[in-house]
Structure 1
């Protein structure tokens, strides 16, 4: 087992479920202290009982709450921006509320958390690493993913800006773009065989991703074996974007 994370403190947003929860579990196995940020207290309680992580309950749609949560986290070594949501709306159906919710969680909250993490690291002398969780939806046009695609493409572009501006402070910033990953959110979008089967057929590896697949790839980018990797987007897609 890698010792990269022994004694490290890593913030994980969206930690209650899905990829974020898997990241906390994997960090715990590797000796890190995870600071799990999520909205639902019952999810945080069960995760804390399982892993011993520290927990902070916050609704990241609220800018002030997001900043308060980051302040409560203290000085940490890494940030995994995993909080995300989706409201399935087409171009013609998109609502103001749907747009604000998806962009607020997927993009604005991630930028706020990254900013506060970076400010604390710079004040402490630099160093640290951020991984932003985007999506292949930022690269391909999927039906009913109007705001979601915009939010994920925006976060990927912001990742490059962060890498450029924070690199001189020794802070690495990368993004991962998972394919359909077997979370509750994905189940709602891809449960219909008419939608799922054509998508599955385009994956050379013949399957969608599991949350553990994504978590391990995130930790790979955060570890000491990737010291010169910054400003990159790593597809975790079973080859989907290659074909």
Structure 2
């Protein structure tokens, strides 16, 4: 009998059973033991209770208890490794004993009263109307684009204006004489056009614009031959600021001044 081994008492935290355990048994598995009543494992070193005296224990009993504890720990490890997943039962929705047709109850329309031929005819009408509406839509877009291009198209180039220069009018201090060369760049004879003359400041920005009619140019001719050029002169009003150049172009009836 070994009477030197210190024996302690531990209380199971699950079922509160009390049993004896030695220090060697506590140190064998770092305090892990299995309760003999509820078979649950807990750490005996955290659930020791005081004992008034030391209970002698033999070496054979100590070895037997150690073997039992080690076997129980190994069995617990195997069970933890192969723990099956709990089965979860998903409740199924039960169909009501009496089915309710909400559509029929809300509209109160008898299926026998529905005219099938009328529905088919309406569907055909919608199918025929859809391409027609789409075609009309694209036609309107094409007409709008064509009209915009026609209104905003640039006029064909028939005349060019070069050698533009300005001089003060000798007869009137409120006028400026504009000299330029007009050229017919087409292969046909063209009438002398009306002109729009813009006076430009030092930054080449227009500061005034004036329409000069063809008859006011006082030419000795009324037509310009194909590929021909001619020197011309026009008088326009002098602006209040200094000007250093002029821009000349053919005047169109819809030109906004």
> Normalized against structure 2, the TM-score is what?
0.19
* Relative contact order higher in (CA < 8 Å, ≥ 6 apart): 1
Q: Determine which structure has the larger strand proportion and give its number.
A: 2
Q: Determine which structure has the larger helix proportion and give its number.
A: 1
Which has more radius of gyration? 2
